[in-house]
Structure 1
Amino acid sequence: MKVQQEIKRGAIIVFITKYSGILLGLIVNSVLARLLSPAEFGIVGVVTVFISFFNILSDIGLGSAIVQKQDFTGKDFSDIFKVSVLISFGLAIAFALLSYPVASFYNDQVYIRVSQLLAIQVLFSALAIVPKNMLIRAQAFKTIGFVELGSSFLTGSLAIALAYQDFSFYSIIWRSIIYSVLVFLLYFISSGLKIQSGISFSGIRGVARYSSYQFAFNCINYFSRNLDNILVGRYIGNTGLGLYNQAYQLMMYPVSNLTHVITPVIHPILAKYQHNKTIIFEEYIKIVKVLAILGLPISVFTYFSASELIYMFLGEKWMEVVPILRILSVSIWIQMIMSSSGAIFQAAGRTDMLFTSGLLCGATMILAILCGVLYFKSLEKTALLLVIAFYLNFAISFYVLISTVLRQNVFKLYALLARQIPSVAVLILAYLAEKSLATDWAPAPSMLIISLGIKLCIMGLVTATFNFPLIEPYFKKLSHLKSK
């Protein structure tokens, strides 16, 4: 019970700050999408792919190791931060130099200036790793949320102002740079990190094996998750990449922002029970149940509401994104559940098996991307092949996690998911009925809101009806408060 209370308490804090950030991000992106073209978004999307890789290089698995290792001292944190400073400056210089081969690969000199500017973001994002994970380790989720939300508000406002002044894609670039600087400074101050004299590598050596497997997994995960962006930008063009990126980002909103309400909390709490795999499994199954109850209806809702969502959040010129989003939406629920599994590998102290699982899953993802982009040369077929890969990877990842790492029966997971099939079937039938009865929505804000509101109400009613025992305690608590 204590574990559940800690998870709930942390998740509530993360939920409030995270969803405030989601709303803010949607507003900023919606405004920018109307001011900038798909090609301009595509230019930034190309460089962002490489930034993600440099973020992995800067971490080298130390972030999760800081959370996992329970006996780190202030001196250890100081030593690790000093090492991260050296790594950060080295990577920033390397990223600036990378601008020339990137410009050559994409046959566009604009990437030289863009990459050299974003080297500043690489530097400060890398410097923030140690103080941020110190805060995670201390379960200071409220502080992390306020830092990220406040920085997002300030830099989002800046980006919109710059876009109105015709700064083009540079408005997004300056937003990223200033965000990374602000976040680092606030994390550093909040973490209480004290720089001590001298340097020792004993702290790093103590987590070398754990962090090395985590780093290897992060690299594999990066290539399997970003190869599509690299190849789409090269072989289909910036406009194609802009369309594909927007579809992928909208699909990832519920994946990252629902799952990441829980996953930052799971690792630091369950790491205390790393020698008792049964407790980890029992608590994780409860989390998977919640993610399935949320994720499956959201997948169905996104599929049937794709046109309204694109028109509302991006505008009419982005309607080519609709078929891509519909295909990717089928994988939302499965990605939500899979995104939480990494924290369990980490909490169990088995980053070696996380690496093994990532290697197998990465191979299927890379094969799907190569076939979609190089053979079919189609954004929609690439999205479809990715969805198939996600389903295959779900089976692989959870077999390794549950059967091998936690020594439990993986069919307990499948039985839990099977119990959600009736509610999903009813929701699909309800949406089909709504579609046959409703007239086609007109491209006006009022009609969009009405259409989305109806679909959200249907989703809420069906989900609540089939999962009433889960929400019944809250109704009882509400009625008890009213009676007072």
Structure 2
Amino acid sequence: MTEYKSSTISSTKWTVLSSVINGILTIGIGAVLARLLTPEIYGLVAIAYIVIAFAGYFVRLGVGTALVQKEDLKSEDINFAITFSMGIGIVSAIILALFSPIISLLFTKPDSHSVIAAMSLSLCFASFSSTLIGLLRRKMMFKFLSIVSIGQILFSGLFSIIMAWLGCGVWSLVWPLIISQLLVSIVFFLKVKSSFELLFRMSFSDQNHILKFGSKYTLISILEFFGSNLDTIFIGRFFSASQLGMYDRAYKLAYLPSQTLITSITNVMFPVFSRLQTQMEKFKETQIKLFLFIGLLSTCIAIGMVPATKDIVLVLFGPQWLDSIPILNILLFAVPFDFMVASIGLTFDATNKLKEKIIIQIITLIFLIMGMFFLYIYGPIGIATALTLSHILRFLIYTFYNQKLFSLPGKFLLRNSLQIVIAGTTVFFVSKFAVVLSSKMSLSPLLSLGIEIFSCFLILLSFILINARTFLGVESYHKGYSIVRKFLANNGDNNVK
């Protein structure tokens, strides 16, 4: 096994492990906070999150990603990227804090201006740490990143619960985030401080690749931001804070289980694809495997949740959040398409096919705006429907471009897509059967949810095992198969004795 392959496997293990732990912590912390805070509070914070997330794209400018993507990275590139990110982060935070009253009026939520102003501080730390994360990802230091990530969520989550319990209201979701980001920035700085020097004079002409790639990546990220958040912006502007809070919780709940696992995989695979861009056959093979794996994973998780949404909401959030169920049911159908697009888009980023991504995002954004315009009369449910339809359209366009750019074998794409559809259909009916059975047995929502999760897990595991040879490769598959056979044979001999 090569050193790089070994590093990739180790990185994947750590990122998946941390993502699972982070997902469990996030769900647990969210369940506690949902009982301590009101939908209105979540609505105000959702507005601030949108504003900060949007400003964050300008602050980061794709610099961290450019450090990962560039083949020949020099110390001058690192010094420039970190210094540039720090400077623009500080300036952006000041500007956003000054304009926060005007921004809050645009959302017709004047109470949100102090939240936006406070959270603008996070831009200083986020811009700095995002570039350092890019450098650490390039060095495949995912074990360190994973440990820090777990620590951050644990710290901010416990801090939020304590503040909410003490009656701090909206600030229990604000200050823990800011303080945890500050601490994480310090940790990252201490880890890589020997790798860079701050520049007091910068030559922009010498950093053409980083700025060019970063600016294109930022434009795509902004378009993707609107594609993913225009629904929340629209609801925040034209509906109540309570409705926005319901929608925000439903959206996060729909995406969190799949995102917990898949984001960790894509974070590892981006530097892998960047290094494989000159080995096209290996690149195609890896892309097909990744598409199938992420498709199966996201489809089984999301579609398996659909019949069980009532139990999920009651167990995690409580009865005050039952109005979010219709929205959640619709958004869950968008999840698989969104993550399959992420697997395809990853290869576009690694090979610098950013122009095509821009075109796709513009088309999708126009479709989303039209959809929200026509479905606005149905309230947040109509907005969720428009978002789901736009994600399906984006997936179809990405698939077309992917086939055209990389000349992927059509039979593999068709076979993989068919498997994903079959897996989704199977897991839906199995989950539905588990819900009906639990209802007839008059089980508690918690016990019912446990049965539903276990049933869906078995279906997902079955499809992964069916494709084990594809995912592992012939040689690794046969080695694993031999180990299992020897283990079973030895275990059988011991039982006979």
Give the CA deviation at 1:196. Answer: 4.8
Shift of 1:294: 1.5
* Residue identity matched to 1:452: L
Residue 401 of structure 2 corresponds to residue 392 of structure 1: no
Q: Is the 8 A contact 2:46 2:248 kept in 1?
A: yes
Q: Partner letter of residue 397 of structure 2?
A: I
Q: Which runs of 5+ in 2 are unaligned?
A: 470-476, 492-497
8 Å contact from structure 2 (residues 348, 354) kept in 1:
yes
User: Are the equivalent residues in 2 in contact too, given 1:464–1:471 (CA < 8 A)?
Assistant: no
**How far off is 1:288 after superposition?**
1.1
Q: What corresponds to 2:445 in structure 1?
A: 448
Partner secondary structure for residue 195 of structure 1: coil
Contact 1:210–1:352 under 8 Å retained in 2: no
2:228 aligned with 1:231: no
**1:66 Cα deviation (Å)?**
0.7
The aligned residue for residue 218 of structure 2 is 215
Alpha-carbon distance change, 7 to 100 in structure 1, aligned in 2, over 3 angstroms: same
Distance 2:335 2:233 in 1: 22
> Judging changes above 3 Å, is the alpha-carbon distance between structure 1 residues 208 and 467 closer, same or farther for their aligned structure 2 residues?
closer
Equivalent residue for 1:166? 167
Is the contact made by 2:129 and 2:188 (CA closer than 8 Å) also made in structure 1?
yes
Q: Distance in 1 between matches of 2:414 and 2:343?
A: 16
- Report the alpha carbon displacement of residue 4 of structure 1 after superposing the two structures with TM: 6.2
Match of 2:473 in 1: none
- Specify every segment of 5 or more residues in structure 1 that has no aligned partner in the other structure, as ranges: none
- State whether residues 93 and 119 of structure 1, in contact with CA within 8 Å, keep that contact through their aligned partners in structure 2: yes
**Aligned partner letter, 1:114:** V
Corresponding position of 1:124: 125
Compared CA separation, residues 74 and 318, structure 1 to 2 (3 A): same
Counterpart contact for 2:7–2:140, Cα < 8 Å: no
Distance 2:409 2:215 in 1: 29
1: distance between equivalents of 2:458 and 2:110? 53
CA contact (8 A) 2:302 2:335 kept: yes
Contact 1:15 1:261 in 2 (8 A): yes
Question: Whole-Å Cα distance in 2 between the matches of residues 5 and 133 of structure 1?
Answer: 20
2:474 matched to which residue of 1? Answer: none
Distance (whole Å) between structure 2 residues aligned to residue 151 and residue 419 of structure 1: 37
State how 1:18-97 maps to structure 2 within 5 Å.
18-97=19-98
Distance change in 2, residues 1:149/1:32 (3 Å) = same
Matches within 5 A, 1:350-365: 350-365=353-368
Q: CA deviation at 1:266?
A: 1.2
| 1:21-46 Cα distance to aligned partner (Å, 9 max, x none) | 11111111111110000001100001
What's the TM-score, normalizing by structure 1? 0.92
Q: Is the 8 A contact 2:12 2:265 kept in 1?
A: yes
Shift in Å at residue 477 of structure 1?
4.0
1:441: how far off?
7.6
Separation (CA, whole Å) in 2 of partners of 1:63 and 1:264: 12
- Map Cα deviations across residues 30-81 of structure 1 (whole Å, 9 max, x no partner): 1111000000110000111011101101111212111011222222211221
- Alpha-carbon distance in 2 for matches of 1:452, 1:291: 23
Mapped contact 1:266–1:344 kept (Cα < 8 A): no
Aligned position for 1:298: 301
TM-score normalized by the length of structure 2: 0.90
How many residue pairs match? The answer is 478
Of 383-392 and 314-323, deviating more is 383-392
Go from structure 1 to structure 2 and tell me whether the alpha carbon gap of 1:441 and 1:43 turns closer, same or farther (over 3 Å shift): farther
1:105 Cα offset (Å): 2.1
Matched, 1:275 2:272: no
Look up the match of 2:328. Answer: 325
**Separation of aligned partners in 2, 1:236 and 1:224:** 19
- In structure 2, the CA distance between the partners of 1:410 and 1:258, relative to structure 1 (3 Å rule), is farther
The amino acid of 2:219's aligned partner reads: A
1:419 and 2:419 aligned: yes
Whole-Å Cα distance in 2 between the matches of residues 322 and 476 of structure 1?
47
Query: What SS is found at the alignment partner of 1:419?
Result: helix
Q: Distance in 2 between matches of 1:165 and 1:277?
A: 57
2:438 and 2:448 in contact (8 A); partners too: no
Query: Relative to 1, partners in 2 of residues 1:347 and 1:410: Cα closer, same or farther, differing over 3 Å?
Result: farther
Residue matched to 1:195: 197
Q: Is 2:135 the partner of 1:134?
A: yes
Q: Aligned in 2, Cα 1:110/1:426: closer, same or farther, shift over 3 Å? A: closer
Q: Among the aligned pairs, what percent are the same residue?
A: 21
1:169-207 C-alpha deviation (Å, 9 max, x unpaired) = 100001111121112111222234421555333552133
**Could you say what secondary structure the match of 1:320 adopts?**
helix
Cα 1:456–1:126 shift into 2, 3 Å: same
- CA distance 1:53–1:386, change in 2 (3 Å): same
Aligned partner letter, 1:399: F
Decide whether the 8 Å contact of 2:37 with 2:169 is kept in 1: yes
AA aligned to 2:275 is K
The one-letter code of the counterpart of 2:197 is I
**Distance in 2, Cα, partners of 1:14 & 1:208:** 28
Cα distance change on mapping 1:465 and 1:70 into 2, 3 Å: closer
Q: Deviations over 1:405-430 (max 9, x none)?
A: x2334563232111343443333333
Q: What's 1:245 paired with?
A: 248
Which digits, 9 at most, give the CA deviation of each residue in 1:322-362, with x for residues without a partner? 11111111122222211222221111122222222222222
Q: Which amino acid aligns with 2:455?
A: I
Per-residue Cα deviation, 1:420-469 (whole angstroms, up to 9, x for no partner): 43443333333444444443686xxx722321222123223333444433
Structure 2 counterpart of 1:453, one-letter code: G
Q: How far is the alpha carbon of 1:254 from its aligned partner? A: 2.9
